[in-house]
Amino acid sequence: MRFLYLLFLFTITSYSFSQDITSNTFGKGISILARDSSFSLKFGARFQTLYEATYTEDSKNYTEQLSIRRWRLKFDGYVYNPRLVYKIEIGLSNRDIGDQQPRIILDAVLKYHFNKNWTLWFGQTKLPGNRERVISSQKLQFVDRSNVNARFNLDRDVGIQLHHEDMIGNGIFKQILSISMGEGRNPTSPNVGGYNYTGRLEYLPFGEFTSNGDYFGSDLKRETTPKLSIGATYDYNDGASRSRGQLGSDVLGAQNNLINNNLSTVIVDAMFKLKGLSIMSEYIDRQGEDNIAGFGTGTGFVAQAGYLFKNNFEIAGRFSTIKPDDLNYSAINEEKEYTLGLSRYIVGHSLKVQTDFSYDDFPLAENQFKFRFQVELAF
């Protein structure tokens, strides 16, 4: 934290004495290239200011909160050789850091393009899991991700990933293999159980999306021809110690190897875009080998669609449902969520205003109405 304070102080001090003109563009970060081309750096910052109000139907309880949902610093570029790329992302808001252990580092990963179609990743970053999770929180179609993602996503982990892609006719076939620790980000204790193994396949039958549009919400590029990406992931967490694999609370007994639950997760997802229309859907099934209380197992489904008008307003709808596999053991509740969203993209996902209204239906708990309003700024 002292380093971040000094960096901020240096930036303010420098600005007070000079106002250099830069060729950098808003939303693209601040880029630096060494004179001898031995390294490059792009620095960016972003934050989300969120207002959230919740009304509980039966008890008529009303709560509201205004907070900084996310506050991030991002660094990326290359070192030594343009084929050796790095990415660093730091989260500074309370919800970024977490309540139990400080987890400031989000991403710290090296990516080596050792062949035209092959890339090796090493470090901490997102696992190749469900599409909604891999999409940056800056580039979402709604104020935040769905409840299905909150319960079943794979999140970040420390390890290695091997990425490969090739052409099949006019389509593109992508494969990712990952071996990671399985404990989530910023682990401070020795590995519990075994490793985490992840494999993902993606097929894009009509070729690449414009500007990697299969990994940001809304059809901001207004694809002139149909674009489709279909993905499938299988993840096996050998001896998981946390209730949701890489996330959640430590399950009693797991840290001391008194229990040893193996979690397996199957994910199928798709993204479609055409002329302002965007559709995304995901199905996730997470199971444990033994019915051990405290683990979040079950299935989830989410489908969402939106249309971007020519004035850059977008209206979108989302439905999601969660079903625990066994209410006696699973740490999650049965739930259905209906969401209607409205967004105004001022400068793409770098400057936007979003709002959504949700109804959460809990068969075994009180139903809720939720309203959210958020402003995103990123440079």
Domain range summary for the chain, segments of one domain joined by +: 48-378
Q: Please name the fold of domain 48-378.
A: Porin (2.40.160)
Residue 108's pLDDT is 96
Determine contact, residues 333/364, Cβ cutoff 8 Å.
yes
Element (DSSP H or E) covering residue 2: helix 2-17
First to last CA, the chain: 22
**Threshold 0.85, pTM exceeds:** yes
In whole angstroms, what is the distance from residue 14 CA to residue 203 CA? 48
pLDDT of residue 24: 76
CA distances 86 to 43, 79, 156, 242, Å, are 12, 8, 16, 29
Looking at residue 303, its pLDDT comes to 98
Contact of 186 with 176, CB cutoff 8 Å: no
* pLDDT value, residue 99: 59
Q: How would you write the pLDDT of the chain (379 residues) with one tens digit per residue?
A: 554 444 444 444 444 444 556 667 887 888 988 889 899 999 999 999 999 999 998 889 999 999 999 999 999 999 999 999 999 999 998 888 765 566 889 999 999 999 989 999 999 999 999 999 999 999 999 999 999 999 999 999 999 999 999 998 889 999 999 999 988 888 777 777 789 999 999 999 999 999 999 999 999 999 999 999 999 999 999 888 777 778 877 766 555 555 568 889 999 999 999 999 999 999 999 988 766 666 778 999 999 999 999 999 999 999 999 998 876 566 678 999 999 999 999 999 999 999 999 999 988 888 999 999 999 999 8
Beta bridge partners of 359: 338, 369
